[in-house]
Structures are given as structure tokens and as C-alpha cells.
A and B are shown apart, each in its own frame.
Chain A
Amino acid sequence: KNEVEQSPQNLTAQEGEFITINCSYSVGISALHWLQQHPGGGIVSLFMLSSGKKKHGRLIATINIQEKHSSLHITASHPRDSAVYICAVINRDDKIIFGKGTRLHILP
């Protein structure tokens, strides 16, 4: 079993829909990243969080340390949000463990 599991693996939605991507992990962590990767490979860090909730524009990330679960939400989704979203945790040894990513496709 992977230490970081994401769901769904693939998600197709209509423009304007509310999107939720989930991440569950099985190791002790000091922080969790949500990353965005566009075709071509470049990765952008969206959030790093250790507790609670963070918001940036239409993006919201939450984490529940007790349940070892995090969610990434996108409100009013847009085709330019189409990308792979990757959850990555920093474990107690300061190593980053990545999920396999969720491929999001927003249809106009």
C-alpha cells in the first residue's frame, strides 16, 4: 500500500463545478504539500500546510492531522485549472513522499 493515496485518480468536470481532491496518508508528517503540474512537467507549489485550512483565490486546502487526511477544493472551476494535482507529505525524517496525482480535466 502506498504511503500517500489520492482520489480520484482522474476527474472530468464541467466549467463552474466545485472540485474536491482527496489525499490520505499513513505516516507521521510535519507538513503536507499540494502541488500542481501542467502538461510539460513544471510543478508549482499551491499550499504547504501543517494544520487547519488555507485559502488562495479559488483554491482551498484543508488538513485533519488526526484522521491523516487532506482535501484540495477548487471553487468555480475553469478549463485553465486542468492539470495534475499532487499531494506530497514531509515525513518525520524530513523526506517528501508523493502521491501519484489526480488528473483533472475541466470541460468548457
Chain B
Amino acid sequence: DAGVTQSPTHLIKTRGQQVTLRCSPKSGHDTVSWYQQALGQGPQFIFQYYEEEERQRGNFPDRFSGHQFPNYSSELNVNALLLGDSALYLCASSPAREGRPNEQFFGPGTRLTVL
């Protein structure tokens, strides 16, 4: 079991560009969550995908969008990049179990630098 994988590991973009980050969940997991972690801060929830739909969303602008594919993998897209979007982007997967809190398994993250 490869666990949660993310690609790419590192990425450098310039202001105004668009970026796509990818995540493959742990085997058997169907829910994917994305987080942004600025340097020295705890992660902030961006959104969560389940059954190919955005189920929950944090306080992030519409420039942040996502997608989940039938194989449960997910993409995070950020348009019109700002310097402040520079951060570590973490993906976490969990199994969907009604009525129970789910332990999330985190990927290694993608470090995005916006110049």
C-alpha cells in the first residue's frame, strides 16, 4: 500500500499563473481533503471531496478549485496565483464512515513557491 501520494513534490510558479496539484488517496479511501500550510502555521482546510463532489469548503476564494475522479484521486487547481499562495499543500484521505469521526492519512505535500 503506497499510502497517500502527491505530485509534484516541489513547484515554482510566477504571479498570475495557474497550477494543478495532484493527490492519490490511500487504498480503500474515498474521501480526499486539501489543506494549505503557510510557513510556521498549522494547516488550513481548503475543501473536501467525496463521490466526485465538493462536500465541504473552508474560507478560500474561488481561485481555489478542485476535482475528484472516479478512482478517488483528486486535483487542486489554483488560478491567478498570488505571492501569498506560496505554501505547503497537503492532501489527506479517509474512508467515508457515517456517524464516525475518520482518521485522516496525510500525503507528503507539494511545496509551491510563487515568485
Number of A-B contacts (CB under 8 A): 56
- Per-position binary interface string of chain A over residues 51-87, scored 1 when its CB falls under 8 Å from any chain B CB and 0 otherwise: 0000000000000000000000000000000000010
Stretch at the interface among B16-24, B71-79, B101-109: B101-109
A99 to B42, CA, bound (A): 6
List residues of chain A with CB within 8 A of the CB of B109. 41-43
Interface size on B, residues (CB 8 A): 24
- Contacting A at CB under 8 A, from B20-38, are 33, 35, 37
Q: Are B103 and A41 in contact (CB under 8 A)?
A: no
Closest Cβ neighbor of B105 among chain A residues: A45
A50 to B99, CA, bound (A): 13
Interface size on A, residues (CB 8 A): 25
List residues of chain A with CB within 8 A of the CB of B42. 4, 86, 88, 98-101
Cβ distance B47 to chain A, nearest Cβ, rounded Å: 10
Check A35 for interface membership: any CB of B closer than 8 A.
Answer: yes
List residues of chain B with CB within 8 A of the CB of A42. 106-109
- Contacting B at CB under 8 A, from A21-66, are 30-31, 33, 35, 40-45, 48, 50
14 contacting pairs across A/B (C-beta < 8 A): A30-B101, A33-B104, A41-B37, A42-B108, A43-B90, A45-B103, A45-B106, A48-B101, A50-B101, A93-B56, A94-B56, A94-B101, A96-B104, A100-B40
